[in-house]
């Protein structure tokens, strides 16, 4: 029986990473850009042990659709996904963009306050996905801790998910700012500090993605001169794909997304 994972992508960074992640999973599972299986993936001898249902579900027309909810307070990145090459794989009802479309202005408090205003719409999507799961394992949150939406709105969603789904695993892939460059936003350290507190209180597992380390790996190990955000996002998607392999191909190793922990005392683990 599949143990489904619902992925929540918050903010520009979270949605950019999420877009690369779903492209990676589609390639690995033989899912085309329109959600249909490629010919080779339809062969039963090839698909043995392939549990696509952990991250995808099948629609009425048998297309595979990501269990993903895309959230942002400004439309640029979400619009790019909706018009991009993989636009047809997503559930169009699982996109949320703030009505004003002005974002959170790199301000944690603005993102958190926006979460209070829009929570009902977002949790309608989350509840619908949870209700459609046979045996929900938990959630993955993709976000940055430095931006306004990823840190502020992401913090609010973490708190509410912890309250509403106390027995479900919550894992985050959290992008940390490059401390060597200092960034171009003076409030980044404050956003990060406020988001870190919510991560330690509400997440069972935090995968730390250091922007500086990612850039160094791309340039020193992969020989990419001046790596772009897209290239570092591809690196992140590879890490995410590798870390979820045993969930999607359980024959390789029996595991769940995290060790079981008492719901009253959330397990706090960080990896990088």
pLDDT in tens, 168-211: 999 999 999 887 765 567 889 999 999 999 999 999 999 999 98
Please answer whether residues 28 and 224 qualify as being in contact, where contact means their C-beta atoms are separated by less than 8 angstroms: no
Q: Which two tokens stand for residue 252?
A: 């390789």
Query: What is the mean predicted confidence (pLDDT) over 257-264?
Result: 43
Q: Which two tokens stand for residue 244?
A: 């979820």
**Residue 228's pLDDT band (cuts 50, 70, 90):** confident
Rounded-to-integer distance, Cα 179 and Cα 172, Å: 20
pLDDT in tens, 150-178: 999 999 999 999 999 999 999 999 999 88
Structural domains in the chain, CATH included, are 4-258 (3.40.50.1440)
pTM of the model: 0.89
- Greater pLDDT, 213 or 263: 213
Does the structure show a pLDDT above 90 at 90? yes
> Closest Cα to residue 52, out of 31, 68, 21?
31
Q: Which of 188-197, 219-228, 253-262 has the highest mean pLDDT?
A: 188-197
Residue-averaged pLDDT of the chain: 88
């Amino acid at each position: 029986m599949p143990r489904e994972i619902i992925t929540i992508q918050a903010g520009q960074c979270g949605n950019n990473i999420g877009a690369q992640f779903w492209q990676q999973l589609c390639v690995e599972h033989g899912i085309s850009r329109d959600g249909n299986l490629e010919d080779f993936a339809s062969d039963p001898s090839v698909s043995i042990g392939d549990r696509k249902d952990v991250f995808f579900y099948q629609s009425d027309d048998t297309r595979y659709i990501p269990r993903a909810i895309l959230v942002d307070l400004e439309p640029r990145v979400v619009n790019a996904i909706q018009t991009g090459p993989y636009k047809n794989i997503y559930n169009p009802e699982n996109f949320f963009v703030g009505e004003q479309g002005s974002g959170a202005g790199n301000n944690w408090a603005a993102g958190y306050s926006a979460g209070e205003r829009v929570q009902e719409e977002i949790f309608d999507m989350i509840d619908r996905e949870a209700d459609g799961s046979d045996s929900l394992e938990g959630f993955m949150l993709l976000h940055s801790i430095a931006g306004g939406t990823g840190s502020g709105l992401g913090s609010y969603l973490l708190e509410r998910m912890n309250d509403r789904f106390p027995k479900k695993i919550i894992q985050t892939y959290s992008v940390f700012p490059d401390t060597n460059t200092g960034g171009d936003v003076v409030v980044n350290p404050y956003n990060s500090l406020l988001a870190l507190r919510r991560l330690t209180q509400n997440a069972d597992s935090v995968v730390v993605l250091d922007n500086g380390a990612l850039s160094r790996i791309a340039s020193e190990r992969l020989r990419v001169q001046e790596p772009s955000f897209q290239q570092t996002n591809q690196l992140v998607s590879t890490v995410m794909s590798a870390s979820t392999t045993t969930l999607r191909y359980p024959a390789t190793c029996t595991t769940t997304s995290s060790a079981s922990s008492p719901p009253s005392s959330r397990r706090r683990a960080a990896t990088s």
